[in-house]
Amino acid sequence: MSIILTLLRKEYLIFKCDRAAFALTFLVPALMIYIFGMVFGINRADTGPRGIPLAVVNECDNPAALRLVDVLRAEKGFRIITTTTPDGGAARDLEAGDLKPLMRDNVFRFAIVIPSNLIETSTVGVNLKLLSNPRNEIETQTVNGLLQKCIFSNVPQLLGQSMQASMKSMLGGAGKDKLNRNIAGAISESFDINETEVLRELEAGNFGFDRITSRAEGAADDGKTKKGNPLGELIKIENEQVVGKDVKSPAAARNVGAWAVMFLLFSVSHLAITLFEEKRAGLLQRLMSSSVRPSHVLWSKFLFGVLLGLVQLMALFCAGRLLYGLDIVSHFGQLLLVSAAAAGACAGFGMLIASIARTSAAAGFLTTLLVMLMSCLGGAWVPVSFMPEVVQKISVFTIPYWVIEGFMQVFWEGGSLARLAPTVGVLCGITLAAMSVAWWRFKRGTIFEP
């Protein structure tokens, strides 16, 4: 027993002296819990999505349409867009014809058109049109739910006005007024209510639909379908998918790229850590004693990382094709370009980590921490639009954000080379910046010293 206790004390002392192991065991999990809590909004009063861009075009002059716009604007889950600045000129109101080109440019992914025939006159009902770019399934379902909630719970007068318009269409203006007076008289006599007040409410379209909409809102919150919604048949929303409707495997197009980038970061970053192992084994010193210079070693590491990352990505996408039918053949050239840029950025990130860390253990610690952090913030795990607005702004500074954006442009939007140029340019800029800092750090460091 005493031998076991002695060995147990030895294990404790080794663990105590290994600061990287200590940090990975206690500090990193605690830090990640804090960051994940911030991303998922734990202990936040409102944990729903924030600021999903929603374009609104109002073609109706009915006051209820303006109220619907105000209701959508008050919903925290949306950031309402009603204007555009074509060619950098003066801002003007959005028109229906502006929506599809802007959605293809990913300025926003959802738009609602309030048509001039918002209120049905031939039958009872309300018309709306929803345009979508459902590149993220969770985000799309959330937007649909928020729209139903806003419409069902805040615009009941639309249905009443539709009934009044339908009555006028069938009976004429005089006939509608007579019917309203008869109904108001009957209600006043039956329930001892002021007839003038009842008549005013009827003519305004207030038929008590707000009570029905309360049930509808409850049904929407419970995730029930249109079948369980009493107003589902009356509010007609015409849905049109603007981008991605021809994608053969939508789920694979949405997710495979996001999964691949996280594994790419881990594998390529680990390659740079081998610098420390080569120094410990004396390989670097033997190379330095020959005609090899540090720049040769660093560039060979970087280029091997790029090639390894490129091969890994293509292998993962081939697996996506075999397993899920991901269409890589139609977009092979664009996919190769984005994959090369992504591999370069990840390899540069790995060299940067190796230049900052003093030991392989510290490099491993930094890699684990930063890769998980960037994957979370960059949208590899959950849609960026579900994060707090502050986190959404931070996410654009991560490599996964731009890699995922590039893969979505390839698989979902079928983007041309010109369309991909800005995203590829950002990834190349990240590569250049990371390698510049890494080179500067290596020149001041001791890794190539005997």
Decide if 309 contacts 342 (C-beta within 8 A): yes
Token pair in block for residue 67 = 């109220």
Range 210-227 average pLDDT: 49
386: phi then psi, degrees, rounded to nearest 5 = -85, -5
Rounded CA separation 71/126 (Å): 16
**Nearest CA-CA partner of 176 in 235, 121, 231:** 121
Concatenated DSSP letters of 386-450:
GS-HHHHHHHTTSHHHHHHHHHHHHHTT---HHHHHHHHHHHHHHHHHHHHHHHHHHHHSSTT--
Range 272-280 average pLDDT: 79
Split at pLDDT 50, 70, 90, the class of 234 is: low
Instruction: Write out pLDDT tens, residues 425-444.
Output: 999 999 999 999 988 988 88
Structure-token match 């970087």, residue found: 302
Strands (E), 76-217: 78-81, 83-84, 92-93, 110-114, 126-132
> What residues are paired with 238 via a beta bridge?
129
Range 401-421 average pLDDT: 88
Burial class (CB in 10 A: 0-12, 13-18, 19+), 31: middle
CB atoms within 10 A of CB 286: 11
What are all long-range contacts of 204-212, with beta carbons under 8 Å and residues at least 24 apart? 204/157, 204/160, 204/161, 205/157, 205/158, 205/159, 205/160, 205/161, 205/162, 205/163, 205/164, 206/156, 206/157, 206/160, 207/159, 207/160, 207/163, 209/156, 209/157, 209/159, 209/160, 210/156, 212/156
Query: Does pTM top 0.85 for this prediction?
Result: no
Q: What's residue 226's pLDDT? A: 45
96: helix, coil or strand? helix
Checking if the pLDDT of 276 tops 70, the result is yes
List domains and CATH numbers for the chain. Answer: 3-41+249-444 (no CATH), 47-171 (3.40.1710), 172-211 (no CATH)
Highest mean pLDDT among 46-60, 225-239, 306-320, 433-447: 306-320
- The secondary structure element, H or E, covering residue 55 is strand 52-58
Rounded CA separation 151/307 (Å): 52
Sign of CA dihedral 129, 133, 137, 138: negative
Highest mean pLDDT among 72-86, 174-188, 222-236, 361-375: 72-86
Higher pLDDT, 26 or 343: 343
Average pLDDT, the chain: 80
Q: What's residue 197's pLDDT? A: 78
Rounded CA separation 56/63 (Å): 15
Split at pLDDT 50, 70, 90, the class of 225 is: very low
Range 8-13 average pLDDT: 84
- The secondary structure element, H or E, covering residue 241 is strand 235-241
Checking if the pLDDT of 325 tops 90, the result is no
Rounded CA separation 233/237 (Å): 10
> In this prediction, what percent of the chain has a pLDDT beyond 70?
85
Token pair in block for residue 294 = 């540090």
Token pair in block for residue 150 = 């806003």
Instruction: Write out pLDDT tens, residues 114-162.
Output: 888 777 666 666 788 899 988 877 788 888 888 877 877 666 666 666 6
Q: Please name the residues in contact with 153: beta carbons below 8 A apart, sequence gap of 6 or more.
A: 213, 214, 216, 217
Q: Which of 85-94, 220-229, 323-332 has the lowest mean pLDDT?
A: 220-229
> In this prediction, what percent of the chain has a pLDDT beyond 90?
15
Q: Which of 187-201, 224-238, 305-319, 425-439 has the lowest mean pLDDT?
A: 224-238
Q: Which residues of 71-93 are buried (b: 16+ CB within 10 A; e: fewer)?
A: bbeebebbbbbeebeeeeeeeee
Decide if 72 contacts 112 (C-beta within 8 A): yes
Split at pLDDT 50, 70, 90, the class of 233 is: low
For the chain, what's the residue count? 450
Q: Please name the residues in contact with 328: beta carbons below 8 A apart, sequence gap of 6 or more.
A: 317, 318, 320, 321, 335
Q: What is the CA radius of gyration of the chain?
A: 30
**Nearest CA-CA partner of 264 in 333, 327, 323, 310:** 310
Higher pLDDT, 81 or 225: 81
Higher pLDDT, 129 or 362: 129
